[in-house]
Amino acid sequence: MTTADLQIPAAPGTAHQDRQGLDGLAVVRTRAELDAARRAMTGRVVLVPTMGALHEGHRALIRAAHTLGDHVVVSIFVNPTQFGPGEDLDRYPRTTWVDLDMCAEEDVALVFMPKADEMYGPGLGIRVESGDLADRLEGAVRPGHFSGVLTVVAKLFGMVSPQAAVFGEKDYQQLVLIRAMSRELALGVDVYGLPTVRESDGMALSSRNRYLDEHQRVIARALSRALRAGTTVAEHGPARVLAVAQAVLEDEPELIVDYLALTDPELGPEPESGPARLLVAGRLGTTRLIDNLALDLGRAVAGPTETSEAARV
Ligand code: AMP
C-alpha cells in the first residue's frame, strides 16, 4: 500500500487564521501539538474521526458530538492503510479550507490533521487484527480494509484520549467493528452511531458522491431506493425484503452490485423476524458506494425509517 500525505496548510496558527471565519479554530498537525492542546482541555472530550471532504453528514456528527461532551475534536486524515491497491487513495477529495470552515462554524475545539508519517512513523508496524466479521461484506470486497480502519481509530483514540467518539451508521460495518474493538480491547471510549444523513431523494451523503457525473448520480439512487423498497415489505419476512430490493437493483444494469445482504443488527445471520439491517454496496464506473437501513422484520413500516436530523446517539 502507498502512503500519501495530505495537502494541508503549511503550519497551524498561520495561514488559516488570516481567513475570515477561522479565527480561533485550533488546528494541529503533530502528536506533540495535539498532546499540548489536549492537556489544556478539561471535561469530556468527544472525537469525530473523518477523512475530510466534509459534508452535511459530518456536520451532523459534530453537532451530535457537542451533545455528548464539553469539547469536540475532529480528526481529518485520509488513512492510507484502509485503501487497497487500485482504490481511490490518490484521488480521494481533499477540501481542506472548506473542512476547516465547517469546523469553525460548528464550534470545534480542535482539528487534528496529521501527515501520514505522524500516524505511521518509525515503529514496528503494529496493527489491529480485525476478526472474522471484518472478512465479510465490505471486507470480502476490500481485503485488509477494516484492519486499516481499526488500526487508525485505535491510534486516534490513544492520541486524543477522548471519552466518547461519534461515527455514522452510513458505514455500518465499520461502526459495529469499532464498537466491538473499543469494548474488547477495553479502550475506554464510548462509541456512538448517528443515523445516515441523506439527500432529499434518499441518497446517502458521501464524500465519494462527487465522483459521480449527472447520469451516474441518477442511477446511484437505486441503492437507497432498493433499501427503502425492501423495508416497506418488512412485514412479509426476509425473503420478500431481499426479492423486492433485488428487483430495484436489477432495473439498473449499469450498477454493479457487490452485495445485497440482510443481517441481524450486529451483522450476524439473517433473522426470521425482529430487528435487522439491510445493506447494499455497488459500483458505478470507478466509484464504489455503500448504504444500509434498519428494519423490523414481521412489522409494517409506517414511514421513512431514518431521518437526517434524528440525533439517535
Ligand atoms: P469519512 O470521512 O467518509 O471517513 O467519514 C467520517 C465519518 O462520517 C464516519 O463515521 C462516517 O460513517 C460518517 N458519515 C459519512 N457519511 C455520512 C452520512 N451521510 N451521514 C452520517 N454520517 C456519515
The DSSP secondary structure of 77-90, one letter per residue, reads ---GGGSPTTSSTT
In tens, the pLDDT along 17-37 reads 434 457 679 999 999 999 999
Strand duo 45-50 + 256-263: pairing: unpaired
236 is catalytic: no
Q: Among 171, 205, 288, say which to mutate for ligand 1: greatest number of ligand atoms within 8 Å of CB.
A: 171
**Residues β-bridged to residue 45:** 71
Answer yes or no: is pLDDT of 159 > 70.
Answer: yes
Determine the pLDDT at residue 300.
Answer: 74
Of the CA atoms within 13 Å of residue 279, those in its CB half-sphere come to 25
Q: For residue 196, report the distance from its CA to the centre of ligand 1, in Å.
A: 8
Percent of the chain with pLDDT over 90: 88
CB atoms inside a 10 Å sphere around CB 161: 18
- What number does the ligand 1 atom closest to the CA of 49 have? 6
Please identify which residue in the block is written with the cell numbers 475534536: 73
Q: Whose CA is nearest to atom 18 of ligand 1?
A: 57
Q: Detail the DSSP E strand segments found in the chain.
A: 26-28, 45-50, 71-76, 110-112, 164-168, 190-194, 256-263, 274-284, 287-297
Sorted by where each starts, the structural domains of the chain and their CATH numbers stand as 15-194 (3.40.50.620), 207-297 (3.30.1300.10)
Cell output for 254: 449499469
User: Higher-confidence residue: 125 or 12?
Assistant: 125
Length of the chain as a residue count? 313
Cell output for 304: 421513512
Q: For residue 237, report the distance from its CA to the centre of ligand 1, in Å.
A: 30
Average pLDDT over residues 246-255: 98
User: Whole-prediction pTM value?
Assistant: 0.91
- Is 146:140 a contact under the CB 8 Å cutoff? no
- Alpha-carbon gap, residue 93 to 142, rounded angstroms: 20
Pocket of ligand 1 (CB under 6 A): 50-51, 57-58, 60-61, 167-168, 170-171, 194, 196-197, 204-207
Where is average pLDDT lowest: 2-11, 15-24, 177-186, 294-303? 2-11
Intra-chain end-to-end CA distance of the chain, in Å = 34
Determine the pLDDT at residue 18.
Answer: 39
Q: For residue 236, report the distance from its CA to the centre of ligand 1, in Å.
A: 31
Average pLDDT along the chain: 91
Determine the pLDDT at residue 299.
Answer: 81
Average pLDDT over residues 279-287: 97
